[in-house]
Amino acid sequence: MATTHAASGELIDLQLATPPGPASESQTLVRSDHWEVFRLTMPTGKELPEHKVASVITMQCLQGMLEVEAHGRTQTMRAGTMMYLTGGEPHAVKALEDSSLLVTLLVNRA
């Protein structure tokens, strides 16, 4: 079954109906040839070990509190904050509280 993504002009509800479950979950909201937007939910204590993506990335904290390691330092993201990373920048994320992130990636699927 194909995943349904938002169509142009469609409203997208970024609020969670329920708190994050025991595992991280990702829901792709928008996908096109050149960019992708997804919501990542992480329960308290969940970690994404250091990784990198080839493209430019933004992470916007929608709820909760996260610790992000990038560029040799650790910073705390709270609801309403956003971080931009250049392509290929190693980073790690840890949920200090049940959290939700809006992640945007530039991609080249063409």
* Nearest Cα to Cα of residue 70 among 55, 56, 51, 54: 51
Global pTM?
0.85
Domain span at residue 97? Answer: 25-106
Residues of the chain with pLDDT > 90: what percent? 64
What letter represents residue 44's amino acid? T
Please state the domain count of the chain: 1
Task: Report if residue 89 sits inside a domain.
Answer: yes
Q: What are phi and psi of 46, to 5 degrees?
A: -70, 140
Give domain status of residue 88, yes or no: yes
The token pair at 23 is 């595992």
8-state DSSP, 79 = T
Answer whether residue 82 is part of any domain.
Answer: yes
pLDDT at residue 26 in the model: 85
> For residue 55, what is the domain's CATH number?
2.60.120.10
The pLDDT score that the predictor gives to residue 12 is 79
Phi, psi of 6 (to 5 degrees): -65, 145
Residue 15 lies in a domain: no
Gap between the Cα atoms of 64 and 46, Å rounded: 12
Digit-coded pLDDT (tens) for 73-95: 999 999 999 999 999 999 999 99
